Amino acid sequence: MGKLEGKVAVITAATSGMALATAKLFVEEGAYVFITGRRKEKLDEAVKLIGRNVTGVQGDAANLADLDRLYQTVSRERGKIDILFASAGLGELATLEQVTEEHFDKTFDLNVRGTLFTVQKALPLFNDNGSIGSIKGCPAFGVYSASKAAVRSFARTWLVELKERRIRVNILSPGTIDTPILDPLGAEAKERFKALIPRGEMGRPEEIATVALFLASNDSSFVNGVELFVDGGTAQI
């Protein structure tokens, strides 16, 4: 029996990289998974790749109407949520002088506003003793770092607000992971990232997925309110 047998999971922005690897692993461990993505063709590809026990719902985590449609689908098809993995997020390079109003609003709309309402709108469907996790999969720079700090603050508050329901809230903070989002930066930039990591190579999406499985399963039943760095030790040196 898998670690998530009979569980229902919702994973936002799971059409590639770490979130897609997590969705695949959750299904392998017995969960039924709902995934979202903004582009239908990518969402359909992800559903096909996962292969079974998965429903794709097109939508943007920053759009409240799309979130409503997501949870209406979950309610109609499964009637509950055991695991919520809010993985939608973005990070764009911009120095202090380069930050624009558009850059700020775009980052906070998805990373902060989107995460907040992704969790809030899921609560009526949430089983007690469930698990909420948030993942941000981009290098942290400037405005992005501030949005990540806001999500960290959310987790501290939510774990207290949801304690009567025994719902755990944790943050998974990846280091530099070799995903398609880094491809536009080029080989030279990737080599610079590698040089900052003690083992000399970037993480793989599957290495994030296994940690997400730990946080979602009963293996982490006494883990609550943590920010778990999965970065190969980069933050420690």
Return the structure tokens found at 178. 């070799």
Q: Could you tell me which of 137, 152, 37, 50 has the C-alpha nearest to residue 87?
A: 137
- Catalytic residue chosen out of the listed positions 144, 154, 158, 193: 144
What amino acid occupies position 92? E
CA-to-CA dists, residue 185 to 50, 65, 155, 182, angstroms: 28, 33, 31, 6
Is-catalytic flag, 144? yes
Any idea which residues carry the catalytic annotation? 144
